[in-house]
Every structure is written in structure tokens, then in C-alpha cells.
Amino acid sequence: MFDDLYYEYLATRYKNLKNKGVIENADIVYEDGNPTCGDVIRIYVKLSPEGIIEDMKFDGKGCTISQVSADILADIVKGKRLEEAQKLEKGDFINELGIDLSPIRIKCALLSYKVFKMGAYGVKVDDERVDD
């Protein structure tokens, strides 16, 4: 459960999402959803010619945690090389969020992370990869 202070932080950030929007001509566009909660996240990533993430925006709908975590993710990856951002560990991302999450909420928090990874690698990050 959240303490009041953290919930307040989430609610405030939710009203002031910095990275919500659309990037025209983005290099990476990917979308996925979280059926258990109804969250949907679509990410847009703009790369420099050198492969640095110049901008990331997201669009979507869903619970506060899914939207705020996408906003925080964009802050984390902007300015990084794509290869570096691809290596962002799940645990490190959760630490950045600073939330003590129940298993259901974890899925909400990690949706943007999952969408980013899938988009960045152009493949699914779970075990569904098929060998050539």
C-alpha cells in the first residue's frame, strides 16, 4: 500500500505529465496494453544519427501508476544511447520509481518498460523468440 505522501506525489505528477504526447516521424513506435488493468501505452522514440535518444514521448490511458511510470521512464532514457537504454534493468527501473508495489501494480508500473524494450529491440522480450 502507498503511504499518503507517495500517493500525493503520484497524483501530482499524473496531472503534470512532462513526456506525454506524440512525436511525428519517430524512429521507434510501439504499443502494448495491460489487460488486467486496462492500461495502454504507446511510445515514440526519436534517435539522433548517432543513435542517441533525443526524445521520448508516450501516449496512452490507464491507471495513475502506468502513466506516471511511463513519464519517469522517458526521463530516464532521454539522452542515453539506445544500446545503453536497452540494457536498463527491471530492478533499476523499479528503484527509480521508488514504489513498493503489489504484484498487480508491478504490471502497471512495468508496462511502459516492457513496451520500450519491445520497441527498442524490435522483438518481444519474453520467451517467445523463435530461432531462425
Binding site for Zn ion (CB under 5 A): 37, 39, 63, 66, 108
Q: Is 85 left (phi over 0), alpha (psi -120 to 50) or beta?
A: alpha
Judged by beta carbon, residue 76 or residue 108, the one nearer Zn ion is 108
Question: Least Å distance between CB 71 and Zn ion?
Answer: 14
Judged by beta carbon, residue 39 or residue 71, the one nearer Zn ion is 39
Question: Least Å distance between CB 54 and Zn ion?
Answer: 29
- Cα 30-34-40 angle, rounded to 5 deg: 50
Question: Least Å distance between CB 80 and Zn ion?
Answer: 26
Judged by beta carbon, residue 32 or residue 39, the one nearer Zn ion is 39
Question: Least Å distance between CB 22 and Zn ion?
Answer: 21
Judged by beta carbon, residue 39 or residue 59, the one nearer Zn ion is 39
Question: Least Å distance between CB 47 and Zn ion?
Answer: 28
Judged by beta carbon, residue 17 or residue 47, the one nearer Zn ion is 17
CB-based burial, 43-59: b 16+ in 10 Å, e otherwise = bbbbbeeeeebebbbbb
Q: How many CA atoms lie within 13 A of 58 on its CB side?
A: 33
Residue 81's φ and ψ, nearest 5 degrees, are: -70, 145
C-alpha–C-alpha distance, residues 30 and 70, integer Å: 13
